[in-house]
Amino acid sequence: MRISTYSAFQRGLDMMQRIQAGLDRTQQQISTGRRLLAPSDDPIAAARSLELRESLARIEQFDRNGEIARNRLNFEETALVSVNDVLQRVRELAIQANNDTQSAEGRRQIAAEMRERIDQLVALANQRDGTGRYLFAGTRDTTAPVSVAGGAWVYNGDQGQRLIQIGEDRQIPDGDSGADVFFSVKDGNGTFSTRAVATNSGDGVLGPGSVLDPAQYDRDTYTIRFTAPGSYDVLDSGGAAVTSGAYTPGASIAFRGIEVTLEGSPAAGDDFVVEPSRNRDLFGIVAELAGVLETPADDAAARAALHNGVNGALADLDQAIGQILDVRTQVGTRLAAIESQADTNASLSLTIQSTVSGIEDLDYAEALSRLSIQATTLEAAQQTFVRTQSLSLFNYL
Amino acid sequence: MPDPLSTALSGMIAFQRAMEMTGHNIANVNTEGYSRQRAEFSTREGQGAATGYIGTGTKIVTIRRVYDDIIGQQLQASTTSHARFEAMNELAGRLDTLLADPATGLNAQLTSFFNAVQDIANDPASLPTRQALLGEADGLVLRFAELDRQLSAMDAEVNQRIGAAVGEINQLAEQIAELNEQITVGRARTGQPPNDLLDQRDLLVRDLSGLVSVNTVMQDDGSMNVFIGSGQSLVIGNEARTLATVPNEFDPTRSEVAFVSASGQVPIGNALTGGRLGGLLDFRGQMLDPARQSLGETAQALAASFNEQHGAGMDLYGNLGGDFFSIAPPAVLTSSNNSGSGTASVTIDDVGALAAGEYLLSFDGTNYSLTNADTGHAVAMTGSGTAGDPFLSDVLAIVTGGAPAAGDQLLIRPAADSTATLARAIDDPQAIAMAAPTRTSADLANLGDGQITASEVVDQDDPGLLATAVIEFTGPSTYSINGAGSFAYVSGDPITVNGSQFTITGTPAVGDRFTLEANSGATGDNRNGLKLADVQAIGILDGGTVSINESYGRLVANVGSATRQVQANYAAQGVVLANAENAQLSKSGVNLDEEAANLVRYQQAYQAVAQVVSVANTLFETLLAATRR
């Protein structure tokens, strides 16, 4: 083939420029540590890497969300532990006061302490998290949830629960509304409650009772009426007799799937009421207990009224303690869920990071050996160029 | 009788000419477009005698340039392709890097905006966090605007480059026409080809084919006619026509190439292919326009979907959320050819159904019709175009106005122009609607164990959305709403009241009450916030399959793969061009060794014929001496 002098020159030059361009690219890759310098180097990988980076940023946000939820739940847990302590103390005091050897003065002092404990409970219910939001106000978290109005405690929050996104498909509540924690304590044994009528003249003391067969219990209000000191009728809310029997102290009275136990000796005409549980507030329960203790108990009937009152209140108190425990269990479950989600997020994020690195990052060993090959090639091309360009017939003319 | 002296002299003259020509070749070894020249020697006519014809020496018949038309045409064609991809490659590479660079791309900003939404969802009552979202929204809007500004700048640059290319084409055409004249005259005068002028003209045509694809036709008189596009003549003999840039019929900011004829400037639009000009037009049509459109769609989708979700929430004042972002409706561009004064205002009905970058609304004197401007396919419309009953296609709602004339056209550009108009519409951090508009509660005096779930808005336009509704159980399995009606209760079945939906589970007792009411004062509610944070991931575009994030990722991938194709083609065409250049140089280029050898050859021949003169002289002197007595 005929070679023109110009093209021999130009071809050598082009060759060197091409190698230099490759060398420059390798150099850029090495100095940035990136295999892909522009999306066009590998468009699919570029789009994929955008998606992955986006996922990474989301996971980071989920971790941050989880941290905030964890913080709030820890606040809630601390508050609930204190509430539990207070309730346990109130329970101890109640049992202490229920003792017949306790003097009227002693009961008054106990009642006074209980009233102070109520204030403590209200303060706990109105506690805020570190950023000034009320913990137990539902989603109305800038309103103090509990206030006193006319001797009763009122809930000012709502029943909402805020969910926090802690994983791609996982949301977790970061608290519980005060309505659920403090204002929905089912009284009695949780299904029904029992009480002695205040005008009773005997000293019958009614226990909290229990459910035998939930299917038979129809949530009606029943009255156990003593027709004589040794016999009773059980009447439903319409006044119709459900059952009747002879009274033995300590033996259970069963009807409509439930049973209650009566001690002492009720007088004829004494009434005991069994009614479905209602939601009560924790503060009211303690206040009622204090009220019972403040009532003088001089004779047997009054003492029976005291025992009935304290028994009823103790049952309510146990419900309250159980309720707090339930909530604490849920909080613990949520904290564990956050923990496990954080682990999942961490391993997910590690996987994604290594995928991103596989897509984007440079294999340095390969790049460095490529660099040295390119450098060698360029040198060879330069030497060849100089040698061939110096060849000319004119040198010999 | 032949004269040895004049025979020798003819050789001396011929070889001297040949050496001059060799010198010319050597001198032009680096001249671009130069074709090496060859002297064609031929014998001079012999003189007949009884002893036979005796030759009278040599002569140069012509100086021929070594040039192959076929190779020349191949070189022209590959120059056209190479220049096209060269122009595309440079711009595409810039577009590619612009979109993907974390510092200039959209992704990082989108992510941090939606993360800021989640931050509020974690603590909706916090004003600083809410303020931070407004800041992030500004950052996002700014990024959209900045990207659009860069793309617009590229558009303007393409316009400028088109203008420059058209200028160069005009200049080259004029020079070719001028050379045509010189060549014709030169040939006519000497009967010989003016080699160097031919080389110059071939070089000009090659330069021209680097700008636009050309066809050349040789004429008998040696002149060359040049045609471009779909057969428009650019040079005929010594006459050159001119091209011009004119504003687009609809969009005056867009340059188009037009042919200047006696009757005016006729846009030739897509007829021009190849070369730098073709590359610029291809880049604009195939890469830049789709990129701007895609970015605009992303902006439209963001504004539409975020606003919709925001409107379904409640702000800290207890009001339903207003628009969070504002964005301009689709641009309506009027043709400069319209004789009527028809106008249209257009809104996007369903951003997910956008199928084309541009739509054409035409008026035929009585009716309007809509076509997809990219494909030319008709798009079905219902309605009558009035404000009360707008034309509705699957994508657009169009209200027409003014007095259109038959044949008038309006161009509707739904997305491409809207990117820059994206703005934040909310200034007050408290007006960010993070809460759900309604809440539910169970009456604390309820005796049953019925539980009510949080409410979910299913119809945010329900007029009674914020009204209070009380569900009261009138029997074990019946309930009334606000004291009226009797509805069957099934535990867990969804109940929809006033546009909100919730379920009640368990066994409520007779008389138990549940309330649905406006969610005022719920400073800590984040139910709408969680949904707002989800907007980035839900499918919106392309019939609800592509999310905002994906839509941008797709843009990056599309531009990336288009750029990759251009790069591959550019590299391939580089090889093709180099081969064609080599073939051309191999045929026509000067080789110095060859010229040196020729120099030696002609010199030796010259010296030999000079010797003949000397011999002739000796012969003559011998004759003189013999006759001197």
Nearest-CA residue of chain A relative to B121? A164
Q: What is the mean pLDDT of residues B428-454?
A: 91
* Confidence tier at B267 by pLDDT (50, 70, 90): confident
- Minimum Cα–Cα distance from A392: chain B residue: B593
Please give the angle made by the CA atoms of B414, B415 and B418, to the nearest 5 degrees: 110
Cα Rg, chain B, nearest whole Å? 41
Distance separating alpha carbons of residues A75 and A69, to the nearest angstrom? 10
Q: Does the pLDDT of residue B18 top 60, yes or no?
A: yes
The pLDDT value given to residue B168: 96
Taking contacts as CB-CB distances below 8 angstroms, the residues of chain B near A42 are 560
What is the rounded distance in angstroms from the CA atom of residue A197 to the CA atom of residue B282? 96
Mean pLDDT value across residues A121-150: 91
**Under a CB-based contact definition with an 8 Å cutoff, are residues B360 and B370 in contact?**
yes
Q: Distance (Å, rounded) from C-alpha B320 to C-alpha B519?
A: 10
Q: Which of A165, A183, A276 sits opposite B447 (nearest CB)?
A: A276
For residues A220 and A236, the answer to whether their CB atoms sit within 8 Å is yes
Nearest Cα of chain A lies from the Cα of B180 at a distance, in angstroms, of 28
Question: At residue B184, does pLDDT exceed 60?
Answer: yes
pLDDT(A33) > 80: yes
Residues in A touching B509 (Cβ below 8 Å)? 219, 276
| Cβ neighbour number for residue B297 with a 10 Å cutoff | 28
A160 exposed, middle or buried (CB, 10 Å; 0-12, 13-18, 19+)?
Answer: buried
Q: Do A179 and B521 touch (CB under 8 A)?
A: no
Inter-chain residue contact B589 with A164, CB threshold 8 Å: no
Does the pLDDT at position B610 exceed 90? yes
B538-574 pLDDT per residue, tens: 888 888 888 888 888 889 889 999 999 999 999 999 9
Distance of residue B158 Cα from the nearest chain A Cα, in angstroms: 21
Return the pLDDT at A199: 85
d(C-alpha B76, C-alpha B203), whole Å: 10
User: Chain A partners of B125 at a C-beta cutoff of 8 Å?
Assistant: 133, 141-142
Boundaries of every domain in chain B: 4-66+589-627, 72-118+151-287+551-582, 438-517
Candidates A43, A68, A143; nearest CB to B521 = A143
**The pLDDT of residue B1 is above 80:** no
DSSP of B468-529 = -EEEEEEETTEEEETTEEEEE--TT-EEEETTEEEEEES-PPTT-EEEEEE-TT-TT--HHH
SS3 B30: coil
B494: confidence class by pLDDT, cuts 50, 70, 90: very high
In this predicted structure, what is the pLDDT of residue B579?
A: 92
The pLDDT score that the predictor gives to residue A389 is 87
Nearest to A159 among B122, B441, B597 (CB): B441
Residue B629, pLDDT score: 66
The Cα of A134 is separated from the nearest Cα of chain B by a number of Å equal to: 9
- Chain B hits for A69, CB-CB cut-off 8 Å, are 122
How large a percentage of chain B has pLDDT more than 70? 99
pLDDT over threshold 90, residue A91: yes
List the one residue out of B622, B556, B589 whose CA is nearest residue B99: B556
Nearest CA-CA partner of A376 in A13, A37, A22, A34? A22
Residue B3 has pLDDT above 90, yes or no: no
Q: What is the 3-state secondary structure (H, E, C) of A355-377?
A: HHHHHHECCHHHHHHHHHHHHHH
Residue A154 predicted with pLDDT over 90: yes
Contact across the interface for B557 and A43, Cβ inside 8 Å: yes
**What confidence tier does A18 reach under pLDDT thresholds 50, 70, 90?**
very high
What is the domain class of A34-187+278-361 according to CATH?
A: mainly alpha
Question: Measured between beta carbons, which residues in chain B are less than 8 angstroms from residue A5?
Answer: 29, 589-593
**Helix A43-98 crosses helix B548-588 at what angle (to 10 degrees)?**
160
Identity of the residue in B96, B522, B527 whose CB atom sits nearest the CB atom of A140:
B522
The alpha-carbon gap from A355 to the nearest alpha carbon of chain B, in Å, equals 17
For A200, other C-beta atoms within 10 Å of its C-beta total 20
Q: Which residues, other chains included, contact B286 with Cβ-Cβ below 8 Å and sequence gap of 6+?
A: B562
| Residue B20 dihedral angles phi and psi, to the nearest 5° | -60, -45
**CA distance linking residue B182 with residue B60, whole number of Å:** 24
How far off is chain B from A89, nearest CA to CA, in Å? 26
Whether B441 sits inside 8 A of A68 (CB atoms) is: no
State the count of interchain CB pairs (< 8 A) between A and B. 200
Nearest CA in chain A to B455: A160
Span B390-408, average pLDDT: 89
Position A19 confidence tier, pLDDT thresholds 50, 70, 90 = very high
Nearest-10 Cα torsion for B346, B352, B355, B357: 60
Angle at A286 between CA A284 and CA A291, to 5 degrees: 90
Residues from chain A that touch B113, judged by Cβ atoms under 8 A, are none
pLDDT at site A215? 87
Mean pLDDT of chain B: 91
pLDDT for residue A343 is more than 60: yes
Predicted confidence at residue A85, as pLDDT, reads 96
B-chain residues near A54 (CB < 8 A): 107, 110-111, 549, 553
Whether residue B269 has pLDDT greater than 80: no
Answer whether A65 sits within 8 Å of B122, measured CB to CB.
yes
Interface pTM (ipTM) of the complex? 0.82
Interchain CB distance below 8 Å, A6 and B525: no
Phi and psi at B263, nearest 5°, equal: -85, 0
Non-local (6+) Cβ contacts of B306 within 8 A are: B324, B325, B532, B535
- Worst-scoring range by mean pLDDT, A200-209, B166-175, B250-259? A200-209
- Over residues B375-381, the mean pLDDT reads 89
The pLDDT tens digits of the residues spanning A274-318 come to 998 889 999 999 999 999 899 888 888 888 888 888 888 888 999
Q: Identify the pLDDT of residue B437.
A: 93
Residue from the list A14, A46, A171 with its beta carbon closest to the beta carbon of B557:
A46
pTM over 0.80: yes
Q: Is the pLDDT of residue A386 over 90?
A: yes
**A384 touches A16 (CB < 8 A):** no
User: Residue B139 is encoded by which pair of tokens?
Assistant: 């950052």
Confidence of residue B237 (pLDDT cuts 50, 70, 90): very high
Query: Which residue, among B585, B595, B598, B600, would best test binding to A if mutated, counting the most A CBs under 10 Å from its CB?
Result: B585
Residues of B with Cβ-Cβ distance to A131 under 8 angstroms: 123, 126
pLDDT the model gives residue B230? 84
Q: How far is B460 from chain A (nearest CA, A)?
A: 20
B229 Cβ contact list (under 8 Å, min separation 6): B212, B259, B268, B271, B272, B273
With CB atoms and an 8 Å threshold, state whether A46 touches B100: yes
Q: How far is it, in rounded angstroms, from Cα B473 to Cα A390?
A: 107
Render pLDDT for B331-370 as a digit per residue (tens, 0 to 9). Answer: 999 998 888 888 999 998 888 887 768 899 999 988 899 9
The per-residue pLDDT for A309 is 87
B592 neighbourhood in chain A, CB within 8 Å = 5, 392-394
Nearest CB partner across the interface for B524, out of A7, A139, A155: A139
**pLDDT of B103 over the 80 cut:** no
Which one of B129, B444, B536, B547 makes the best mutation probe of the A interface by having the most chain A beta carbons within 10 Å? B444
Mutate to test the interface with A, among B71, B119, B122 (most CBs of A within 10 A): B122
Query: Is 60 exceeded by the pLDDT of residue B161?
Result: yes
Both tokens of residue A216? 């038979």
- Measured between beta carbons, the chain B residues lying within 8 angstroms of A49 are none
Query: Helix, strand or coil for residue A166?
Result: strand
Secondary structure class of B361 (helix, strand, coil): strand
The rounded mean pLDDT for chain A is: 90
Task: Say yes or no to pLDDT of B594 above 90.
Answer: yes
Contact B362, B417 (CB under 8 A): no
**Which amino acid, one-letter code, is at A69?**
A
* Residues of chain B found within 8 Å of residue A397, distances taken between Cβ atoms: 596, 599-600
d(CA A176, CA A137): 8
Spell out which residues of chain B touch residue A39, defining contact as CB-CB under 8 Å: 96, 99-100, 556-557, 559-560, 563
Q: What is the mean pLDDT of residues A45-61?
A: 88
Region A92-111 average pLDDT:
89
Overall average pLDDT of the B155-173 stretch: 95
How far is residue A228's CA from residue A202's CA, in Å, rounded to a whole number? 11
Contact residues on chain B for A40, CB-CB shorter than 8 A? 92-93, 96, 559-561, 563-564, 567
Query: In chain B, which residue's Cα lies nearest the Cα of A393?
Result: B593
Query: What average pLDDT does this structure show over B473-492?
Result: 91
Banded model confidence at residue B2, pLDDT cuts 50, 70, 90: low
State residue B336 phi and psi, 5-degree precision. Answer: -70, -10
pLDDT digits (tens, 9 = 90+) for A178-212: 999 999 998 888 889 888 888 888 888 888 888 99
pLDDT digits (tens, 9 = 90+) for B197-236: 999 999 999 999 999 999 999 999 999 999 998 888 999 9
Domain boundaries, chain A: 34-187+278-361, 196-276
Q: Which residues of A touch B105 (CB under 8 A)?
A: 50
